[in-house]
Amino acid sequence: MINKKLFSHLKEKHSDFVRSRRMLIKETSDILSASKQAIFAYHRSDKKEGDKLVAYAEKGLKSIDTRFIKKDKTLLQQGSLKAAQEEFIEANFFGLILENKKLDLVKGIEINYESYFGGLCDLTGELVRKSVNLVSSGKMKEIKRFRKITEEIIKELIKFDLVGQLRVKYDQAKNNLRKMEDIAYDIKIKRNK
C-alpha cells in the first residue's frame, strides 16, 4: 500500500525544481552574455563598460542565489549556472587584474568551486590575449606582470587533482603560460638585435 501523499509531495517538489531550473537557464544566459561582453570591453580598454557589465552579472547571480540556491542547493550543479558563474569569475578577475587588485572569493554569492577553477584557467587565456595586444605598444611592465600572475595561478592550480573538463582547462592554462614565456622570449630577442 502506498500513501498518496508521497506522490503528491514528490510531484510538488519536482514541479518546483523544473520551474526553478527553467527560470535559472534563462537568467544565466543573460549573465553569461554580460560577462563575455565585459571581457571584450576590458580588452578594448573600456573599463567603465566592463565594470558595468560585471556589476550586472554579479547582481544577477546574487538574485539567483537568493531566489533559487538558498531554497535548493542541487541547482548549484546545473550546467547553465556553472557556466555563468565561471564566465563571471573570469570577467570579474580580469577586471581586478587590470586594476592591479587582489583576486579573492566573491562575497555574497555561493559559487560552485569548479566555477572558480574554470574561471581561473580561462583567465590565463585572456592575460595572453591582452599581452599580445600590448606587445605593439611596448608595455613590457604590464606583460611581465601578466606573466607573473599566470605563473601564480598555475603554481596554485598544480596542487589540485583536477579531472575531466577541469583537467582540460588546466592543461590549456599551462599552455597559456608557455605562450607568455614565448612572448617574453621573443621580445627579449628582438630587443637584443
Q: What distance in Å separates the CA atoms of residue 13 and residue 162, rounded to the nearest whole number?
A: 33
Pick the CATH number of 1-111 from 3.60.110.10, 2.60.40.10, 1.20.58.190, 3.30.9.100: 1.20.58.190
The two domains 1-111 and 114-193 share their CATH topology (first three levels equal): yes
Average pLDDT over residues 122-131: 96
How confident is the model at residue 5, as a pLDDT?
87
**HEC profile for the chain?**
CCCHHHHHHHHHHHHHHHHHHHHHHHHHHHHHHHHHHHHHHHHCCCHHHHHHHHHHHHHHHHHHHHHHHCCCHHHHHCHHHHHHHHHHHHHHHHHHHHCCCCCCCCCCCCCCHHHHHHHHHHHHHHHHHHHHHHHCCCCHHHHHHHHHHHHHHHHHHCCCCCCCHHHHHHHHHHHHHHHHHHHHHHHHHHHHC
Topology annotation, domain 114-193? Methane Monooxygenase Hydroxylase; Chain G, domain 1 (1.20.58)
Grid cell locating 16? 518546483
Domain regions of the chain by residue span: 1-111, 114-193
- Mean of the pLDDT values across residues 73-100? 95
In the predicted structure, residue 80 carries a pLDDT above the cut 70: yes
- pLDDT surpasses 80 at 138: no
For residue 40, pLDDT over 80 is answered with yes
What mean pLDDT is predicted for residues 125-129?
A: 96
Instruction: Please compute the mean of the pLDDT values over residues 103-126 and round it to a whole number.
Output: 95
Instruction: Give the per-residue pLDDT at 16.
Output: 83
Amino acid 49: pLDDT: 98
Cβ-based neighbours of 58, under 8 Å, separated by 6 or more: 88, 92, 106, 109
pTM of the model: 0.90
**pLDDT per position as a tens digit, 18-29:** 888 898 999 999
